Amino acid sequence: MKSYQFKSRIWSLAISFMFISGSLFAQIIPDSLLASFTYRNIGPTRGGRVTTVTGVPSEPGTFYLGASGGGVWKTIDYGVSWKNVSDGFFATPSIGAMRVASKDKNTIYVGTGTDGLRSNLISGKGVYKSIDAGKTWTHMGLDKVGQIGAVEINPNHNDTLFVAAIGQAFQANKERGVYRSYDGGQHWQQVLFVADSIGAVDLEFAPDNPNTVYAAMWRAERKPWTIISGGYQAGGIYKSTDGGDNWTKLTNGLPQGLIGKIDLGVSPADPDKLYALVCT
């Protein structure tokens, strides 16, 4: 027993020394050495374009990746190796958006259907959910909405989430818009609808208050010979301050003519700031 305790203490001291040494080394490592590091492809090689990536804060080496035609992949070793976790569960290999619940690393929601409306895209088939870190998946509906641009999970409640539905790529459909669920995807409510040719392409919560929700609306339709992207006063940015019950279109300081695809970003350092990349 004493020998076991002695060995445990030795290992504890060794591990502590390693962490302290690593921390000190990180502080004195020269910038010139870091400058030699460059980006490299870490895979996976199957599936085409990467459309979405999300990580697990409590597990720095764990990431999930969604591809335009290759489904969902997972790595637990910083990208050294990847494993497909959606094959056999998903009705489509096209992934649009993905989120891991901040309060439960095992809960993941995936919106299918890439938001890049190319002429040869693969259609979305709704939302899928895993409660065991990607081992198994359950279809949670919204199979008629088409492509999905964003999924956002309320940081305080894993079962409250929003989905941005771009719509069917090759036709107008009334299922476009923003959807909300209070029960983990069992039931959905369309809380923002603008038109059957205008869908939601992005969503963001205010970092300090998830009842404040921003939605980017985009007029988009694909034809075999062209793409209809944007319109005059069609689409734009909408804001809700009551968790999605009511929405107001934002116009101050934003383009007033042709409004196309929009990507949103918010800053945790200053929650009142909203950034928007607008195609005009």
Q: What is the pLDDT along the chain (280 residues), one digit of tens a residue?
A: 434 343 344 334 333 333 334 444 455 778 888 887 888 888 888 778 899 999 999 999 999 999 999 999 999 999 999 999 999 999 999 999 999 999 999 999 999 999 989 888 899 999 999 999 999 999 999 999 999 999 999 999 999 999 999 999 999 999 999 999 999 999 999 999 999 999 999 999 999 999 999 999 999 999 888 999 998 878 999 999 999 999 999 999 998 888 999 999 998 999 999 999 999 8
CA distance 144 to 160: 21
Alpha helical stretches, state H, 29-178: 31-34
CB atoms within 10 A of CB 269: 7
CA distance 36 to 91: 43
CA distance 71 to 92: 7
What amino acid is encoded at 5 in this protein?
A: Q
Residue with tokens 């993941």: 108
Query: Which CATH code is given to the segment(s) 41-278?
Result: 2.130.10.10
DSSP characters for 106-136? T-EEEEES-S---TTPPPP--EEEESSTTSS
Cis peptide before 93 (omega within 30 of 0): no
- Taking the model in full, what pTM does it have? 0.87
